[in-house]
Structures are given as C-alpha cells and as structure tokens.
Amino acid sequence: MSDPIYTEIIIDEAKNAHNVGKLENPDISQHDANPMCGDTITLQMNVADNTISDIKWHGEGCTICKACTSVLTQMIKGKDLEYAKNLKKEEILSELGLEHLIKQSPVRIKCALLSLKTLKLGLYSYLAKKIENSSSFDGLKEEASKLY
C-alpha cells in the first residue's frame, strides 16, 4: 500500500528517531507546543566554538513531527550556528519527501515544522542573550514566530 505521507522512510524515521533524550546542563534548552493539537517538544543543545556539539530532543508528537525532528537534529549536529540559523523548511521537508505538505496541508505542515520553530526560538534566545541586546531579541523572536 503506497501512501503520500506515510512512507516506509517516514514511519521508520519516527519509530527509530535519532537524538532522542535529554542533555545535562545544556547551553540551549527550548520548549514549544502546537496549541492546536497539543504536541510538545523540547530541544536541547550544547554549543562549543560556535558549533552545535551535541543535540537531544524529547516530547510528544505525531509521526510527521517525530520524523522531521529526527532529521533536523541530524542535519545540524556538528554544524555551526550560522548554518542552523539559516536552515530552511524546504531543506528538512525534502529530506523526507514532504515538500507537498506546504501547499497541500496547512494543518499538517505545522506538525512538520514544530521542531524548526523550536530550534529557531532556542537559537535566537541564545544569541540574543550573548549580545545582551533585548530589543534585537524581540525582533528575532518575532521573526521566529512568523516561521509558519
């Protein structure tokens, strides 16, 4: 049985998700939720030399949410912050063949991108704290909230 969303790749990725767990004393810990469905996610990262040296996540989510989060964490682990900051939704979705969600499923796209939204919120908060400029932080936060 072939299915446009629930391919073997996605079901496997969700079932055997990567980087699941918690970090002790992470440099970045960001929690977010999708108010419409109650999905929640916590993304934790350690940063060394401007690079994401370690990343873990935990939460409650659907197959799409879990698969996308798993892929996202693999994409940015070991990469520099600039790369993570500029990561685009299309890059994550294309890894799983889910680009069609953008046009076809305005509801499910939010499941797919919850982790990206959480990542950006976490990164921006971290960076804002570093430059200690609260006005710029608000701007970044607003930018992150417009991600969908």
Partner 1 sequence: MQSSISLENIQKDFPILQRTVREGKPLVYLDNASTTQKPIQVIDAITDYYTNHNANIHRAVYALAEEATAAYESTRDKVAKFLNIKNREEIIFVRGTTEGINLVAYSWGRKNISEGDIIVTTEYEHHSNIVPWQLLAKEKGAKIEYIGVDDNGELLLDQLDSYLETGKVKLVAFSQMSNVLGTITNTEEIINKCKKAGIKTLIDGAQSVPHMKVDLEKLDCDFFAFSAHKMLGPTGVGILWVRKDVLETMDPFHGGGDMIREVHKYETTWNDLPYKFEAGTPNIADVIGFAAAIDYLTAIGMDTIRNHEIDLTKYALEKMSKVKGIKIYGVKDILKRGGVISFNFHDVHPHDVATIVDRDGISIRSGHHCAQVLMERLEVAATNRASFYIYNTKHDVDKLIKSLEKVAELFKL
For partner 1, the closer of residues 56 and 110 by Cβ is 110
Exposure string for 99-116, b = 16+ CB within 10 A, e = fewer: eebeeebeebbbbbbbbb
For partner 1, the closer of residues 88 and 103 by Cβ is 103
Q: Are strands 39-48 and 51-60 parallel, antiparallel or unpaired?
A: antiparallel
CB of 6 to partner 1, least distance (A): 5
- What dihedral angle (degrees, nearest 10) is formed by the CA atoms of 1, 73, 84, 35? 70
- Amino acid identity of 142? E
- Applying CB under 8 A, the span of 24-32, 62-70, 92-100, 140-148 interacting with partner 1 comes to 62-70
For partner 1, the closer of residues 31 and 108 by Cβ is 108
- Nearest in space to 72 (alpha carbons), one of 28, 26, 14, 31: 14
Choice from 55, 111, 128, 140 touching partner 1 (CB under 8 A): 111
Choice from 29, 40, 74, 125 touching partner 1 (CB under 8 A): 40
φ and ψ at 16, to 5 degrees? -115, 50
**Interaction of residue 61 with partner 1, rule CB under 8 A:** yes
**Interaction of residue 5 with partner 1, rule CB under 8 A:** yes
Binding site for partner 1 (CB under 8 A): 1, 3, 5-6, 11, 15, 36-40, 60-66, 108, 111
